[in-house]
């Protein structure tokens, strides 16, 4: 559950939309799962600085701004700065609901034996704009960040510069996630933590195709082979509405029979302790 922080709050939701605060901006964007009635008065919704209209799934939507076009703004979490930005797919450059995963990842990285001289290794697959990668690097991890989009890698590098983490050991790699994980397995490389946050559908840099329901089992098997056998962890997140967290749980239980699992939904709580808005499904894998 994400209850917000100084730079973010879910103000209200309903009628297929959500009203959020990012820093000083109020943002109104689609949220199909918000089927209930809105609680805030209409004037609060009309005060939004940015409203997303059109088709968010096909990328044909657009942002309508209250006063002049907006591009990016500075945000941050746990003293790590990064940019928010308005994209054609209703997204804003990061996903606030991921905050509990960020916290859990940092706890696992910090819980490694103190006599281990090597820094923990984190692999961030489908890493997007790199917020989790930067948080891990700031905590002392050696990070490998993989995404098939050159534009996303560019966003991540911009965030790295904003955060002042250019000197930290982060490898930025534009590649197909499955191909990269398979190569790492052949090399015998191991990671203490792996983040897997795939889209429902995607394309690699060489026109490779990704279909969540078809390719996720193979992806997890590849991750199993490169996950550290002792105290290794994996966080899987899926935004596919046709799935259930039970589906993810059973797939991970089959792939990691020796590991401890916890599965569920990531949710945002409305400001003031209000309703819960489900955003995605997850399973966490722990090799204790």
| Strands laid side by side in the 62-65 sheet | 8-14, 17-22, 25-30, 50-53, 62-65
- d(C-alpha 175, C-alpha 170), whole Å: 15
Q: Which residues have a Cβ under 8 Å from the Cβ of 263 and sit 6 or more positions away?
A: 245, 246, 248, 249, 252, 281, 282, 283, 284
What pLDDT is recorded for position 3?
93
What pLDDT is recorded for position 115?
56
What pLDDT is recorded for position 87?
87
What pLDDT is recorded for position 113?
63
Catalogue all structural domains in the chain, each as residue range(s) with its CATH number. 8-70 (2.60.40.1180), 77-84+91-286 (3.40.50.150)
- d(C-alpha 181, C-alpha 126), whole Å: 11
**E strand intervals along 34-174:** 50-53, 62-65, 72-77, 80-85, 121-125, 142-147, 170-174
Q: Which two tokens stand for residue 98?
A: 């991921």
Q: Which two tokens stand for residue 251?
A: 């797939």
Whether this model's pTM surpasses 0.75: yes
Q: Are strands 170-174 and 142-147 parallel, antiparallel or unpaired?
A: parallel
- d(C-alpha 159, C-alpha 136), whole Å: 13
What pLDDT is recorded for position 116?
65
- d(C-alpha 253, C-alpha 242), whole Å: 20
What pLDDT is recorded for position 58?
57
3-state secondary structure 166-235: CCCCEEEEECCHHHHHHHHHHHCCCECEEEECCCCEEECCCCCEEEHHHHHHHHHHHHHHHECCCCCEEE
Strand partners, 193: 122, 233
pLDDT in tens, 108-148: 999 776 556 789 999 999 999 999 999 999 999 999 999 99
Altogether, the residues listed in the chain come to a count of: 288
Handedness of CA 207, 213, 216, 221 (dihedral sign): negative
The gap from C-alpha 120 to its chain's centroid, in whole angstroms, comes to: 20
What pLDDT is recorded for position 59?
57
User: Could you give the angle at which helices 245-255 and 212-226 cross, rounded to 10 degrees?
Assistant: 40
Residue 102, helix vs strand vs coil: helix
The segments of the chain whose pLDDT lies below 50 read none
């Amino acid at each position: 559950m994400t209850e917000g922080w100084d730079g973010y709050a879910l103000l209200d939701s309903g009628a297929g939309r959500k009203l959020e605060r990012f820093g000083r901006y109020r943002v109104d964007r689609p949220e199909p799962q918000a089927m209930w009635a809105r609680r805030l008065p209409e004037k609060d919704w009309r005060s939004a600085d940015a409203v997303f209209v059109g088709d968010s799934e096909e990328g044909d939507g657009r942002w309508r701004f209250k006063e002049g076009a907006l591009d990016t703004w500075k945000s941050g979490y746990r003293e790590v700065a990064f940019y928010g930005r308005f994209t054609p797919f209703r997204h804003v450059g990061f996903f606030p609901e991921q905050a509990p995963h960020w916290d859990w990842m940092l706890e696992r990285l910090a819980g490694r034996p103190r006599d281990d001289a090597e820094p923990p290794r984190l692999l961030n697959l489908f890493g997007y704009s790199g917020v989790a990668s930067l948080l891990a690097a700031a905590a002392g991890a050696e990070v490998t960040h993989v995404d098939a989009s050159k534009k996303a890698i560019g966003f991540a590098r911009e965030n790295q510069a904003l955060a002042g983490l250019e000197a930290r050991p982060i490898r930025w790699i534009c590649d197909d996630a499955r191909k990269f994980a398979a190569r790492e397995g052949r090399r015998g490389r191991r990671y203490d933590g792996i983040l897997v946050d795939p889209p429902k559908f995607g394309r690699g840099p060489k026109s490779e195709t990704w279909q969540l329901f078809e390719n996720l089992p193979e992806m997890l098997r590849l991750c199993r082979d490169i996950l550290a056998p002792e105290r290794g962890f994996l966080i899987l997140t899926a935004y596919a509405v046709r799935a259930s967290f039970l589906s993810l749980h059973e797939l991970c239980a089959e792939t990691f029979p020796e590991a401890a699992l916890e599965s569920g939904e990531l949710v945002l709580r409305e400001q003031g302790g209000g309703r819960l808005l489900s955003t995605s499904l997850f399973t966490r894998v722990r090799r204790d």
